[in-house]
Amino acid sequence: MASPSTVPRIAIIGGGSRGHSYARALHTLSSSDPPINATIAAIIDPIPHKRREIGESYIWGPADRPPHAWEEFDDYKQWISYEVERRRRVTAGEVLDEEEHGADGVMICVLDEMHVEVIRALGEAGLIGDKVQNGTAMHVLCEKPLATTLEDVMEIYKASSGPSGLFSICHVLRYSPHNMLLRDLAVERRVIGDILSVEHVEPVGWWHFSHSYVRGNWRNSATTAPSLLTKSCHDIDFLLWLLCSPPKSAAAGYPPHLPSYVSSMGSLKNFRRSRKPHAAGNATNCLSCPIESECMYSAKKIYLERHLQNGDTGWPVKIVASDIEDIYRAHGKAAAETRLLETLAEDYDASTSREEVQKRPWFGRCVWECDNDVADDQIVTIEWQDDPISPLTNGNGNSDTLKGRVAKTATFHMIAHSLAQCERRGRIYGTGGEISYDSKTITVHDFAKGTTDTYHPKQMGGGHGGGDQGIVQQYLLAIDAVKSGRENVSEAQREYLGCSLEEVVRSHAMVWAAEDARHERKSVNWKEWWDRVSER
């Protein structure tokens, strides 16, 4: 892909599950055919064993040598200070660029609510945005969601404007082989004509939802955001990518087909105190509950029996106890089980401050006694109207000015209570045919021909059907194109990432428009809503 001098160097801020996923993707791509090379320049995380896990796996190795000072930092501000000073020294001619171990890009994988402060700090330091120093901006890949409030999303949008570098959000559904083929069939090749309607479903999975959105980090909208954002902004972006974003064949500047109206309904239906089994009594923790052995949501069953006892120390067990893998390797399964049960036994009571309850997950907590409030069942409907790009001239409504821009509707259903876990499925209805899809196959039926064709896209390893690896691959190719001088930032953003910051902001904003519609029980006029919020 690149000469050694142009191989992208990437810093990773956040050593949790997402940071590890992208580090693994970087490593995997180096052995692909052809190889896509990159170097992980540094890992930044306040927890030593998280830094060590990624460092020993992908940076300095388990026994080769101790880490250099520039390879690990316990605070992103320390790393930013190092990078700013490094660039100053290079610019001043005090050292050569290859002698100082810096980064071309940064992957932001911290908690959702921290994204804005990291991006703000990068902007203030002159590494991105309109304050970029020395003409070389940092290339950013940020885990979704971009931020947890609309105000913060708009701040990031403004902070990342100007002579900045590449900026990509991990809307990984765009980058899986399955979905890339689906969009190619529906949008680029138009195998079913104009799209008229889409039904899309995300089945989260019954125990997955209880882990992440009842007991876990994303359980309360006051401390994070609604589940439509934290879980399903992927899917809203996927729908807008299909129905709003121009085809690749369109000229630069071709306008998106913007939505007209959005509505939504949904609520927290199951995981609330009124649904708690009477036999559970006053128990608030699974390990002290009289019906633990009978309860499908028993934390002991989910984390210990379903995972750890089968030798699985990865997600979700490592989320409950982040040091579980080290304990398992060093001291064996019994010690790991003891550590896991100690964590699951942790609980809070009436004397625990609200701040203490909110600042961390409680994975042994009864699912009907948590402080969760995010919806576990929600439907979003988005409507488009005819939007010709120029006045119709033939009077019959079939002019190419409406090609791909006819009235259409999309519905999205996020449901927690499902057997399938994040195995999305749906149907696309067109003027000339119908497409159905699940996580493995795509089926196209042509009305006129009476034919049905089934496609089996390549199944990639890693998360999100290969989307995790796909976004990292395109990010690296884009950096290489810019760093080698083959393309400028805007060209590489369009060619490799295929998603502008404007599209990122639009899909995030659509989530909040849907939430306004849900809470106010109304249909939201998209243009009026956007004009109002963008003036804030």
How many folded domains does the chain comprise? 3
Assess if residue 439 is contained within a domain: no
Q: Supply the CATH number for residue 410's domain.
A: 3.30.360.10
Question: Which of 178, 107, 184 shows the shortest CA–CA distance to 139?
Answer: 107
Assess if residue 175 is contained within a domain: no
pLDDT given for residue 160 in this prediction? 65
For residue 444, what is the enclosing H or E element?
strand 442-446
* Cα separation, 30 vs 414, whole angstroms: 36
* Pair type for strands 9-13 and 105-108: parallel
Whether residues 91 and 54 fall in one domain: yes
Q: Supply the CATH number for residue 149's domain.
A: 3.40.50.720
Whether residues 303 and 412 fall in one domain: no
Whether residues 469 and 521 fall in one domain: no
Whether residues 412 and 331 fall in one domain: no
pLDDT given for residue 169 in this prediction? 92
Compute the half-sphere exposure of residue 393: CA atoms within 13 Å on the CB side of its CA: 4
Whether residues 264 and 300 fall in one domain: no
Whether residues 397 and 519 fall in one domain: yes
Whether residues 142 and 18 fall in one domain: yes
Assess if residue 218 is contained within a domain: yes
Sign of CA pseudo-dihedral 224, 228, 229, 235: positive
Could you list the beta-strand ranges (E) of 320-430. 377-384, 408-415, 425-430
118 Cβ neighbours under 8 A, 6+ residues apart: 13, 76, 108, 110
Q: Concatenate the DSSP letters of all residues of 243-284 into one string.
A: HTSPPTTSPTTPPP----EEEEEEE--SSSGGGS-GGGTT--
pLDDT given for residue 307 in this prediction? 97
Last residue of a domain, one of 298, 332, 358: 358
Whether residues 209 and 144 fall in one domain: no
pLDDT given for residue 391 in this prediction? 46
Whether residues 256 and 314 fall in one domain: no
Phi, then psi, of 237 in degrees rounded to 5: -65, -40
pLDDT given for residue 192 in this prediction? 97
Whether residues 423 and 382 fall in one domain: yes
Q: Are 242 and 183 in contact (CB under 8 A)?
A: yes
- Tokens 């089994």 identify what position? 277
* Burial degree of 116 (CB within 10 A; 0-12, 13-18, 19+): buried
Containing domain of residue 525, as a range? 194-271+372-431+507-534
Name the region of 82 (left: φ>0; alpha: ψ -120 to 50; beta: rest): alpha
* Pair type for strands 195-203 and 425-430: antiparallel
Phi, then psi, of 436 in degrees rounded to 5: -115, 150
pTM, rounded to two decimals: 0.91
* Cα separation, 497 vs 241, whole angstroms: 13
Whether residues 351 and 325 fall in one domain: yes
Which amino acid is it at 111?
L
Q: What is the pLDDT of residues 30-76, one digit of tens each?
A: 888 788 989 999 999 999 999 999 999 999 988 778 898 899 999 99
Whether residues 285 and 203 fall in one domain: no
Assess if residue 444 is contained within a domain: no
* Cα separation, 289 vs 295, whole angstroms: 9
- Tokens 């884009």 identify what position? 478
Mean pLDDT by 10 residues, the chain (536 residues): 69 94 92 88 95 93 84 96 91 75 93 93 89 81 93 80 80 93 96 97 98 97 94 96 90 88 98 97 97 98 97 95 94 97 96 94 97 98 90 45 88 97 96 96 98 90 76 94 91 90 91 97 96 81
* Cα separation, 248 vs 250, whole angstroms: 5
